[in-house]
Structures are given as structure tokens and as C-alpha cells.
Amino acid sequence: MKVFKFGGASVKDAISVKNVADILSKFNQNNLIVVVSAMGKTTNALEEVVAAHFSGDKALLHRNISKINAYHQEIVADLFDGRKNEISNELTEIFDRLKRHCEKPASDNYHFEYDQIISFGEIVSTKIITAYLEDQNFKVDWIDARKVIRTDSRWREGRVDWDTSTKLVKNALNTSFESGKTIAITQGFLGHDEAGFTTTLGREGSDFTAAILAFIMDAEDVTIWKDVPGMLNADPKYFENTVLLEKISFREAIELAYFGASVIHPKTIQPLKRKSIPLYIKSFIHPDEKGSVIQESSQYDDHIPSFIFKLDQILISLTPKDFSFIVEENLEKIFGYLNQESIRINLMQNSAVSFSFCVDASKIDLEKFKAFFGDDYLVKYNEKLELVTIRHYDEPTIKRVTINKEILLEQKSQQTARMVIG
């Protein structure tokens, strides 16, 4: 049994859906669990529906929903002949359900409403893809993730109830495969709480869904199909001559993600690591290419240096005005404020009388920060900086990224060099 995950870019139009079918046909000897995201930019469009719902602008709300419906109806028209009206009517019914939900007054809980509305994107995409695969004579079953992935009621960041989810997932998928189906199509990102309300799994939730299902069903491996050839050692937007990382360890992938690489979120990797289930990243454009694999062995981790760039950084330094040492009491106040404001530190360093840290400029209200700390601390800061992280560095690699740059702060460990540069 294998688990596949297809993101929004891989199912953005009719040609893309047909490509998914072509990829699945290469694996018809396996039972497949296929996790699918909303099509194209549908999640973004549904976020506009959420905003219109809360604003009370019914005209805008209906226009937005109609626009999303039209986008999916166009895909249906390009995919189907004989069943076009049947599938089209089913989509209309789903979007009418969304409209009815939004006709009711919005609750006081924005995040609750967000989860109920955003989930329609994955429902629609999986309905279309299931119907198309049926037309192509695949033995396919539609599984509702809102019935099998149990979470708590933490909206937009549901925490998985593993015991309950295991029972529900095994019952649904084993029943499906034992009935003769060979492909189970389900939604990424979605779950439900004990009361039956829809929840979502947060950042990279669709990848996480694939990992949850693989863990519960003891899958052979997981493949995430993307529009890139695999994991690269740097973002090609910022770095020339990138290199494919063909094989790295679970630990290395977690380290890269922690430092800000656009790889796989650690919460996706953790359940796979626990059962040593390999995770492949492959191109849906060139599906026969090798791609990358994240697995247990660290043998290949240090063969190629990886570069992670975080732009638009602010480096802030706090020095007590009474020239006292930076001790636990100071750090407690600083970390308490940052936690309260949901500001993530990207890099930090302290000396006897100062504490410095680097954050995303978009995440901090500098004037509010200065007002909070200004009475007791001298607050200094530098803006428009870059934070560069190099895994498995040597001096030539450091010089390569710091040439003609001023290094304001630098940290090195055996495997990792990090520099704030301007």
C-alpha cells in the first residue's frame, strides 16, 4: 500500500487532473491512498468567502461563491462527456450548501467559521477527481476525511486524536479495499472534532494527512507530488545552480524545516520517522524522474551544502539601562512578550549585558515593542537584513553568500553556520 498526496498546483485544471490519472495508472498493482488538496488557488478564494461572510456583504459573498463554482464547472466541462450534467449538478448542490451555511449569521469564533467554509475546497476537488477516475475505469472510492480523522476542537490547528483516528481510518479504508476498490481518494487538511464539526490541520495540513494515513495503515511509502524535481539545496529564486538532494535523513529534513527551508513540515515527518516509512518528493510534471527521498539513514546528509535564505529581517538588541546582567528574569519578560504577540525568533544571542534576536519584519510591531521595553531597556535595531543558514558548510560556501556583505551576527556549530547580513 502506498500513499500519494497531490497539492493544488497538480490539480488546477482538467489537463492536470488527467495527468494525475496517468500517474496513478503507473501504480495499478498497488492499493493506493490518494490525498488531494483544493484545486489551484481555491483555498485563497474561499478565504475571501470567509471575509465576506463576516463582513455581512451578501452580494459579495454570492459573487465569490459563484466565481469558485464557475471555475470548477469549467474543469468539469473539460473532463466529462456523458456524466457532465450529473457531476455539474452535484457541484451546484455542494455550493448551494455553502451558500446556506453563509446565509446564517457568522458565529463569534472566526477560526471555527474558517474551518467550516475552507473545507469545501477539498470536498469539491475530491468529488471531481473521484468521478473522473471512475470514468477512466479505476476502482476508486471516495473517503470523507471529516469522518475518519479525529482531532480536538482547536480550530485551524487541530491536534490529532490518534487512538480514535486509527479505529476510524482502519475501518473505512479496510472496508474500501476489501470491497475490491484499489484507490481511496480523500481530502488533505481536514478532520472533525468529537461533536462532528469540521476542523483543519494547520500549516502543510495535506502533507500531514498523508503521513497520518501512512502511519495508521503501515504504508510502504509516501509520495508528495510537486511542481519541482524534488528537494533542492536552495531556493532557485535566490540561488543559482541549485542541486537536487536525492537522499537525506528524517533528522536532516526536520533540521532544514526548522531553519526555514521550504521542504516538509516536521509534523509530517514525525509519524513517518516513527515507523521508518520513506517519504518521496517527486515531480508531477516528470513523474518518471527519481526525485528525492527522506528516510532513516544519515549517510548522505553532508554530501551537499544546503542554503536557506530568510529576507526582510530585523535584528533587535536589548540592553538594560541600569547596565545589569541579562539574567533569567530579563529573558522571562522578553520571551513572554514575544510569545504573547506570536513572534517567532529566527536567531538569538546574548552577552552579559545585551540580548539580540532576529525576526521577520512582517511579524513585529516595532513601535509597540519599543513602547513596551523602552523604559527599562535601550532598544537598538537594524532593518532590511537577510538571515542565511548553511547546513554542512565550509569557508568557501560562507564566502560565497557573504561577499560584499556586512555580517552583523554570526553563529556556527559543527554542521550549521548562520549569519545575519546586511
Q: What is the pLDDT of residues 318-333, one digit of tens each?
A: 999 998 999 999 999 9
What DSSP character marks residue 281? E
Question: What is the rounded distance in angstroms from the CA atom of residue 385 to the CA atom of residue 420?
Answer: 7
User: What confidence category does residue 14 fall into, taking pLDDT thresholds of 50, 70 and 90?
Assistant: very high
In this predicted structure, the answer to whether residue 263 has a pLDDT above a threshold of 80 is no
Question: What is the rounded distance in angstroms from the CA atom of residue 360 to the CA atom of residue 51?
Answer: 25
Q: DSSP per residue over 157-172, as a string?
A: SPPB-HHHHHHHHHHH
What cell was used for 165? 483516528
In this predicted structure, the answer to whether residue 261 has a pLDDT above a threshold of 90 is no
- The predicted pLDDT at position 37 comes to 98
- The predicted pLDDT at position 240 comes to 80
Which secondary-structure segment (H or E) carries 277?
Answer: none
**Mean pLDDT, the chain, whole residue set:** 96
What is the CATH classification number for the domain harbouring 396? 3.30.2130.10
Which secondary-structure segment (H or E) carries 399?
Answer: helix 395-402
| Residue of 277, 262, 174 whose CA lies nearest to 226 | 262
Name the residue range of residue 41's domain: 2-226
- The predicted pLDDT at position 239 comes to 82
Task: Report CA-CA distances (Å) from 225 to 4, 5, 139.
Answer: 7, 6, 21
Does residue 350 share a domain with residue 213?
A: no
Does residue 56 share a domain with residue 165?
A: yes
- The predicted pLDDT at position 28 comes to 85
What is the CATH classification number for the domain harbouring 186? 3.40.1160.10
Asked if 169 contacts 124 with a C-beta cutoff of 8 angstroms, the reply is no
Residue 360 Cα to chain centre, angstroms: 19
Identify the residue with better confidence: 258 or 386. Answer: 386
- The predicted pLDDT at position 379 comes to 97
- Please write the tens of the pLDDT for every residue from 92-117: 999 999 999 999 999 999 999 999 99
- Return the SS3 of 343: coil
Please check whether residue 339 lies inside any domain of the structure. yes
- The predicted pLDDT at position 262 comes to 79
- The predicted pLDDT at position 30 comes to 85
Please check whether residue 340 lies inside any domain of the structure. yes
Does residue 190 share a domain with residue 82?
A: yes
The position carrying cell 455550493 is 95
User: What confidence category does residue 364 fall into, taking pLDDT thresholds of 50, 70 and 90?
Assistant: very high
User: What confidence category does residue 82 fall into, taking pLDDT thresholds of 50, 70 and 90?
Assistant: confident
Rounded mean pLDDT, 146-156: 97
Rounded mean pLDDT, 293-303: 96
Asked if 94 contacts 123 with a C-beta cutoff of 8 angstroms, the reply is yes
Where does a domain end: 226, 244, 276? 226
What cell was used for 30? 498497488
Please check whether residue 245 lies inside any domain of the structure. no
- The predicted pLDDT at position 298 comes to 95
User: What confidence category does residue 244 fall into, taking pLDDT thresholds of 50, 70 and 90?
Assistant: very high
In this predicted structure, the answer to whether residue 162 has a pLDDT above a threshold of 90 is yes
What cell was used for 122? 477539498
Q: Which of 203-207, 258-262, 325-329 has the highest mean pLDDT?
A: 325-329
| Total domains in the fold of the chain | 2
Please check whether residue 130 lies inside any domain of the structure. yes
Does residue 22 share a domain with residue 140?
A: yes
Please check whether residue 348 lies inside any domain of the structure. yes
Question: What is the rounded distance in angstroms from the CA atom of residue 277 to the CA atom of residue 250?
Answer: 10
Task: Report CA-CA distances (Å) from 332 to 145, 162, 316.
Answer: 41, 34, 17
- Please write the tens of the pLDDT for every residue from 172-188: 999 999 999 999 999 99
Q: Which pTM value belongs to this model? A: 0.92
Where does a domain end: 201, 226, 251? 226
Which secondary-structure segment (H or E) carries 386?
Answer: strand 377-391
User: What confidence category does residue 189 fall into, taking pLDDT thresholds of 50, 70 and 90?
Assistant: very high
Where does a domain end: 208, 226, 244? 226
State whether the Cα torsion 7-11-16-19 is positive or negative.
positive
Q: What percent of the chain has pLDDT over 90?
A: 93
What single letter denotes the amino acid at residue 22?
Answer: D
Rounded mean pLDDT, 348-362: 96
In sequence order, the 6+-apart residues with CB closer than 8 A to the CB of 5 are 34, 35, 36, 37, 188, 206, 207, 209, 210, 222, 223, 224, 225
Asked if 249 contacts 301 with a C-beta cutoff of 8 angstroms, the reply is yes
Helices 328-340/366-373 angle, 10° precision: 150
- The predicted pLDDT at position 271 comes to 96
In sequence order, the 6+-apart residues with CB closer than 8 A to the CB of 282 are 223, 224, 225, 226, 230, 289, 290, 291, 292
- Return the SS3 of 2: strand
- Please write the tens of the pLDDT for every residue from 30-39: 899 999 999 9
The position carrying cell 511542481 is 227
